[in-house]
Amino acid sequence: MKIKSGTKLYKFAKTVIPGGTTLFSKRSELHLPKKWPAYFTKAKDIYVWDLNGNKYLDMFCAVGTSILGYSNNNIIKSVYKNIEKGNLTTLNCTEEVLLAKKIIKHHSWASMAKFTRGGGEANALAVRIARACTKNKNVAFCGYHGWHDWYLSANINSKKNLDQHLMSGLNFDGIPKNLKNTSFPFPYNNLKYLSKLINEKKIGIIKMEVMRNVLPKDNFLQKVRNICNKKKIILIFDECTSGYRENMGGTHLKFGVEPDIAIFGKALGSGFALNPIIGRRQIMKKAENTFISSTFWGERIGYTAALSSIKEFKRLNAFNKVKKNGKLIKSIWLDLSKKYKVPIQIMGTDAIPSFLFKKNHSQRKTFLTQEMLKNKILATNMIYITIFHDKSYIKKYIQVLDKVFFDISRKKIKNILKSQICFKPMNRIN
């Protein structure tokens, strides 16, 4: 098959892969329909090359799977070395045990760990263990927690239940109807709502992201912990996206609130698949009373990459650099918004900042992506910050963004937009 361009390959991909890609966030329609380059040949630091040899500055960085940029030399070397020696054998790899010990050391409240290769399955595993520990099997949740039945079943009651946590009006096709009334969403920072849910729905498990776009208010996390203690509810923090991004471990360490189970992912493997689930001993031991097992969870690559990443995070002072770069980006957005009187709302942590245009968001966001792409930059309104996103690397981004805000303030975007408006991505308000 002769591949002429990423846009053509993506069109074909939709005929052989439902939805065109395996990850929703990589669909071209979410960025620049029919124009997004879609496929890469190689990547290094914060640059990606498309199928036609174009080199892009990447401000989205693989949906946050590496804060060290692409292809960190030391991580790659350690992975290569172990691949050469054997990736998956009859016997286990020692790195699994070493990583368990390391991650537990970062979290003094936890004593045991298990590992998966995806965030959704890590969440399903955590719910299974928690359900094995409690007589109240119902889950109250806040945030996005993957594609599994326990989570999507929340929409059987009302198709609006996942509107604020994942996306609007999601179908629940393929989810058994008898899972109705087993998972219930709650809004972030709304203790009153959560308390009512606990009283009415026999909640035995609370699963939540520690924070996504807004800060916890009025000691929210500690109050959730207190309710869990009082009602004997198992508290799970899903830190698939937030963990190992701005500090060594979960962001809950920063807020001083300890869960019973925590889940990590993305940033820890620096682009290699790995999702640890850690927890208190008496809870994690219950995994032995149920069946949780998978062939490729024994693969050596992810463990090796994570162990090596932890060393690199320290050596490169990565967390401080990420936070500094995120602050810089937020200040640039704010300055441009004021300079051109284009109102925006800035959200997110310094490690994953984002903004919304207060008027015509989707149209303006599409225009931004269009102009960035013209200048060989992959960018939307959200940035997964890496250690490379500092002033020296992002000069061009700042220049193009200045022009984008200028155009938005002076011109009819409808007339200069050469693409169909992008589709709505996930809604994540917590």
Residue closer to ligand PLP, measured from CB, 93 or 277: 277
- Nearest approach in angstroms of CB 297 to ligand PLP is 14
Residue closer to ligand PLP, measured from CB, 131 or 165: 165
Residue closer to ligand PLP, measured from CB, 37 or 146: 146
Size of the site for ligand PLP (CB under 6 A): 13
118 binds ligand PLP (CB under 6 A): yes
241 binds ligand PLP (CB under 6 A): yes
Binding-site member from 114, 145, 165, 245 for ligand PLP (CB under 6 A): 145
- Nearest approach in angstroms of CB 53 to ligand PLP is 30
Closest residue by beta carbon to ligand PLP: 119
Binding-site member from 6, 20, 37, 119 for ligand PLP (CB under 6 A): 119
Closest alpha carbon to 211 in 176, 247, 180? 247
265 binds ligand PLP (CB under 6 A): yes
Contact stretch for ligand PLP (CB under 6 A) within 27-35, 106-114, 116-124, 159-167: 116-124
Residue closer to ligand PLP, measured from CB, 69 or 146: 146
Contact stretch for ligand PLP (CB under 6 A) within 3-11, 238-246, 307-315, 382-390: 238-246
Residue closer to ligand PLP, measured from CB, 125 or 401: 125
Binding-site member from 6, 20, 69, 146 for ligand PLP (CB under 6 A): 146
- Nearest approach in angstroms of CB 240 to ligand PLP is 4
Contact stretch for ligand PLP (CB under 6 A) within 3-11, 191-199, 233-241, 396-404: 233-241
Sign of torsion over alpha carbons 394, 399, 405, 411: negative
- Nearest approach in angstroms of CB 262 to ligand PLP is 11
CA–CA gap between residue 92 and residue 303 (Å, rounded): 12
Site string for ligand PLP, 332-361 (x = CB under 6 A): ------------------------------
- Nearest approach in angstroms of CB 369 to ligand PLP is 20
209 binds ligand PLP (CB under 6 A): yes
Binding-site member from 50, 58, 95, 238 for ligand PLP (CB under 6 A): 238
Contact stretch for ligand PLP (CB under 6 A) within 178-186, 237-245, 297-305, 385-393: 237-245
21 binds ligand PLP (CB under 6 A): no
Q: Which residues, in sequence order, are CB contacts of 4 under 8 Å at separation 6+?
A: none
- Nearest approach in angstroms of CB 350 to ligand PLP is 17
- Nearest approach in angstroms of CB 3 to ligand PLP is 26
144 binds ligand PLP (CB under 6 A): yes
Q: How many CB atoms lie within 10 A of CB 210?
A: 24
- Nearest approach in angstroms of CB 155 to ligand PLP is 17
216 binds ligand PLP (CB under 6 A): no
240 binds ligand PLP (CB under 6 A): yes
Where b means 16+ CB within 10 Å and e means fewer, 236-256 reads: bbbbbbbbbbbbbbbbbbebe
CA distances in angstroms from 407 to 118, 207, 336, 367, listed in the order given: 41, 43, 12, 10
CA–CA gap between residue 189 and residue 35 (Å, rounded): 39
Q: Could you tell me if 372 and 397 are in contact, meaning their C-beta atoms sit under 8 angstroms apart?
A: yes
259 binds ligand PLP (CB under 6 A): no
250 binds ligand PLP (CB under 6 A): no
Binding residues for ligand PLP (CB under 6 A): 118-120, 123, 143-146, 209, 238, 240-241, 265
